[in-house]
Copies of this chain bind each other. A is one copy, B any other.
Amino acid sequence: MALGRRRGCAGHRESQKLLKKALAGGAWANNGDDGTARAQESTNTKNHVISERRRREKLNEMFLILKSLVPSIHKVDKASILAETIAYLRELEQKVEELESNKAAGTTVVRKRHEVGGKKVLAGSKRKASELGGEDTPLPKDGPSNIVNVTVTDKEVLLEVQCRWKELLMTQVFDAIKSLRLDVLSVRASTPDGLLALKIRAQFAGPGAVEPGMISEALQKAIRRR
C-alpha cells in the first residue's frame, strides 16, 4: 500500500507492483502445455499468491480507514498508525468515562485535549507498558508547511489537509471539493491554535474519475488562496 510513499503522489511503488503483476500474469497464462501435476502445482501456487495479495490489500485498506479515523496521525507508517490508534482509543475511553461520571454529578469540567495517560481503566490488561521506541509525541512540531495528502482507494478518497488557519478557509476547501465532484462521507476538522487539521472521507459523485494529482493540486490551491 505504500502508506507513506503515497505522499509525493508519484506512486513509484504502485507502478512497480502493477508491472510485476502483469509480468506474472503473462508468464503463467500459457504454461498449460504440460498438462500434468506441474500445471496443477502452478495453478495452486498462483492462487496462493493472489490470495495472499488480497489479504494484504484488505489489511492495508483497514489501515487506511484507521488512519482516517484517528485524528492527529501525521506520520504515516503502520506502526505509528497502530500506536496512535491505541493512544486515541485510551483517550476516548477515558473521556467517555469522565463524561459519564459528569453526567451523574452536576458540575462540568473543562476538558482539555490529549494527555499522556499512564493509568488504565480496562480490566484484564496485564500488559507491561513498555514497547514503542519512545515515539510518543502527541503533536509533532510540524513546520509552517502545508500538508495535503490524497489517497484513493477503490471508490473512496481520503483527504488530509494541514495548514495555517485563515478566514473562510473551510469554505474554500469545500468549494474545491464540490468542484472536484466529490461527495463527502465524513469530515473531521479542528483548529487548534491557528492551525487547521482536516480529514475528509469522500467518494466520487458520478462516474467522473479524477486523478489524485488533480485533487491534491486543487486542494493546495484552495488553501493557498488569499
Contacts and interface: CB of A to CB of B under 8 A. Distances in A.
Interface stretch (A12-20, A81-89, A213-221): A81-89
Interface string A109-151: 0000000000000111101000110000000000000000000
A156 interface: no
Interface stretch (A1-9, A30-38, A42-50, A165-173): A165-173
B83 A62 contact: yes
Interface in A64-108: 64-66, 68-70, 78-79, 82-83, 85-86, 88-90, 92-93, 95-96, 99-100, 102-103, 106-108
Contacts of A178: 171, 174-175
Contacts of A122: 68-69, 106-108
A191 B69 CA distance: 12
Nearest to A82: B62
Nearest to A90: B69
Contact of A167 (B90, B186, B205): B205
B188 A188 contact: yes
A55 interface: yes
B174 A61 contact: no
Interface residues of A, number: 58
Interface in A165-199: 167-168, 170-171, 174-175, 177-178, 183-191, 198
Interface of A: 55, 58-59, 61-66, 68-70, 78-79, 82-83, 85-86, 88-90, 92-93, 95-96, 99-100, 102-103, 106-108, 122-125, 127, 131-132, 167-168, 170-171, 174-175, 177-178, 183-191, 198, 205
14 contacts: A58-B79, A65-B131, A66-B86, A69-B90, A85-B85, A92-B92, A92-B96, A99-B103, A102-B103, A107-B122, A167-B205, A170-B183, A170-B184, A187-B188
